[in-house]
Amino acid sequence: MHNLGQQDHHSSTRQRSTLKELHGGHPGISRMKSLARGLLWWPCLDRDIENTVKQCSSCQQCQAAPPAAPMQPWTWPTRPWSRLHIDFAGPIAGKMFLVVIDAHSKWIEVFPMTTATSLTTIQQLRRLFSQFGLPETIVSDNGTQFSSAEFQEFCRLNGIHHIRVSPYHPSSNGLAERAVKIFKQGLKKQTEGTVGDQIARILFQYRNTPHTTTGMIPAELLMGRRLRSRLDCLNPALKNEFERSKSDKVLITTSEQKHVILLRGRKCI
């Protein structure tokens, strides 16, 4: 863990720049603290994080209202990418956005679409499945993109069980609703770059921050590793530890090789 706690002009400047980096994707207080945990520390870090979020005008304007009713609970899958929840967000800036979330890892994918038809939805999902494989189950609402014969045939041919929630209980697909909410709130807080750039920043920050439900980083649960970010530059101890570990392995290997050479040169009794 990197300590920035010494109080001088340079450390104060570094703390402000570090807080700015931690808040790059406009995470809330809890997510920001989770992101900082294990990477860095200084006295009153929690207070500084809380003040950073409270003083961010974008975050204050996009504060979430309390949920109207509890969401329908789903069983947590034991394997990643086994059950996906999907929904559409938009229209935003003339586009619809297909939002996909993995129920196990909470990994989110977002696809901007000019037209949200069954065909274009299938095309985006086919591209997604080429990267991560086919899920066992897809959960969606009863939108025309998902209830069409084409989408049903796509699921059947790929061995995917498609569950459509009741139109009278849309909150049954609460996981997808939360993913849409995360995406839309993140987009409102972004002010620079193209929509594609903004989506990339939102997803990168989200995927590398411990999730409030699992306590784990989505990237770790899905891919088995954290995504390298600029925050890793603040913690050179990890790199030094890796280099030291690699050096130890080289020494052990060299020693073992010498031992093998000695054994080969030994005369038989």
Strand bridging mode 40-41 / 83-92:
unpaired
Q: 118 near 143, Cβ under 8 Å?
A: no
DSSP state for residue 66 in the 8-state scheme: P
Which token pair is 65?
Answer: 């209202």
DSSP H or E segment with residue 162: strand 161-164
- pLDDT tens across 191-243, in order? 889 999 999 999 999 999 999 899 999 999 999 999 998 878 776 655 565 55
Q: Compute the distance between CA of residue 133 and CA of residue 154 in angstroms, rounded to an integer.
A: 14
pLDDT above 70 coverage of the chain, percent:
71
Task: Report the Cα 85 to chain-centroid distance in Å.
Answer: 15
- Let me know: does 135 contact 160? Beta carbons within 8 Å: yes
pLDDT of residue 130: 97
Which residue is it, tokens 């207080």? 29
**C-alpha–C-alpha distance, residues 167 and 146, integer Å:** 13
Q: Which of 35-39, 81-85, 133-137 has the lowest mean pLDDT?
A: 35-39
Among 37-41, 113-117, 170-174, 203-207, the least confident range: 37-41
**pLDDT-wise least confident of 14-23, 98-107, 219-228, 249-258:** 249-258
The structure tokens 């996906």 sit at 84
Residue 210 falls in which region: left (phi positive, over 0), alpha (psi -120 to 50) or beta: beta
Q: What span, in angstroms and rounded, lies between the C-alpha atoms of 61 and 40?
A: 29
User: Would the pLDDT of 11 be above 80?
Assistant: no
- The DSSP bridge partners found for residue 164 are 140
Query: What is the distance between the alpha carbons of residues 53 and 23, in angstroms, rounded to a whole number?
Result: 8
Are the C-beta atoms of residues 229 and 130 closer than 8 Å to each other? no
Task: Name the residue type at position 13.
Answer: T
Q: What are phi and psi of 39, to 5 degrees?
A: -105, -40
State the pTM of this model: 0.67
Asked if 116 contacts 98 with a C-beta cutoff of 8 angstroms, the reply is: yes
Q: CA-to-CA distance for 234 and 18, rounded, in angstroms?
A: 8
User: Rounded CA gap, 72 and 169, in Å?
Assistant: 9
H or E stretch covering 15: helix 9-22
